[in-house]
Amino acid sequence: MKYPTSLLIMIAMLSCKQEKNHDKSLQQYKNEGHRIVTQLVDQVGSYEDLLKKKDVVYTYTYQTPDGKEDISQEKYIFEGELSYGKYQKHERTFTDLDGEFEQGYDGKQYWLKHNGSLIKDEAKLKRVAFNRPTNFYWFAMFQKLLDPGVNYNHLGDTSINNQMYDKIDISFDSPDNKPTDIYRLFINQKTHLVDQFLFTVADFGVMKTPFLMQCKYENNDGMMIPSERKYKKSTWDAKVNDDPWIKVTWSDISFSNNLTPSDFQK
C-alpha cells in the first residue's frame, strides 16, 4: 500500500519532534540519580512551593534515649533562609541557662538571647551557628536536594521488607575541599518518598559511621512533610543494632504566617 507523500512527511516530522523532546528530557538531568531525586521533589513539593508559602512556624521536639528533651518553637522565612528558635525546654542545649532562651539568624549574623540580654560567648554562638542552619536544612532537606552543587550517584535497586527502593548517594561540592556531609537515600519505588536515609555529620567529624534516619510523613497544605523521625548509628548497609532511637518530631506546622525579617532581629 502506498501512502501519500504529504502523510509520509507528516510522520517524519512527528518522529523528529518526538526524538528532540526525548533528547531534551534526558538533557535536563545530570544522571539517573538526579532524575529519581527530581521525582522525589515533585512528590513532596519543591522549594518554589515553599517560597510561595513565605514562611513556617512549628514546634520542634528532640528526645534522646535517656529521656532528655529539647523543645523549641521554630520560625523560618524561606527567602534568605532566616531562622529563629525559642527554647521552652533545653535539657540538651545550653543546660546552664535557666528558663527560656532565643537564638536566631537574621540573614547576616547569628545571635543568642537569654532573659532579654544578648550572650556573646563565642562557644555558644558557634553552637547557634550550627543549630540554626541545621534545623532549617532538616525541614527543607528534600527540596534543597535540587540546589546547585549537589551530586547524585544511583547505586541501583535494593529490597527492604519486600519493598523495592532506589539507593542514591548524595554528595556536595566543596570549594575549600573541606569534608561535607554524605547522604544515602532509600527512595520507595512505589510512593517515590524517602522512607529512610543514611547521613554523616561532617561538622562533628562523624564520617566513617553513619546514622540511619527513618521518616513518617504528613500532608500539610499540599506539602509532604517528614514530621516524625527517628535515628541511630548504622552501617553503610543500613544495618542497626538494638540500641534505642533518638526521636525528632515536628508538630503544629503552620505555613504563611506573615512573618517579616524584623521577627528575626536580635
Using DSSP, state whether 206 is helix, strand or coil.
Answer: strand
pLDDT of 178: 75
Look at residue 13 and tell me if it is in a domain.
Answer: no
DSSP 49: H
Q: Which residues contact 16 (CB under 8 A, 6 or more apart)?
A: none
- Average pLDDT, rounded, for the chain: 90
Look at residue 186 and tell me if it is in a domain.
Answer: yes
pTM of the entire structure?
0.86
Chain center to CA of 261: 23
Round to whole Å and give the CA distance between 249 and 230: 8
- φ/ψ of residue 85, rounded to 5: -140, 130
Look at residue 198 and tell me if it is in a domain.
Answer: yes
Round to whole Å and give the CA distance between 152 and 161: 25
Look at residue 20 and tell me if it is in a domain.
Answer: no
Instruction: Give the tens place of pLDDT for each residue, 39-77.
Output: 999 999 999 999 999 999 999 999 999 999 999 999 999
Look at residue 12 and tell me if it is in a domain.
Answer: no
pLDDT of 24: 39
SS (H, E, C) 159-182: EECCEEEEEEEEEECCCCCCCCCC
CATH label of the domain that carries residue 130: 2.50.20.10
The pairing of strands 110-114 and 101-105 is antiparallel
Look at residue 203 and tell me if it is in a domain.
Answer: yes
pLDDT of 224: 98
Q: Which of 66-75, 129-138, 140-149, 198-207 has the lowest mean pLDDT?
A: 198-207
Domain count, the chain: 1
Parent domain of 133:
33-264
Look at residue 185 and tell me if it is in a domain.
Answer: yes
pLDDT of 214: 98
Residue 154 has pLDDT above 60, yes or no: yes
Residue 135 has pLDDT above 70, yes or no: yes
Look at residue 23 and tell me if it is in a domain.
Answer: no
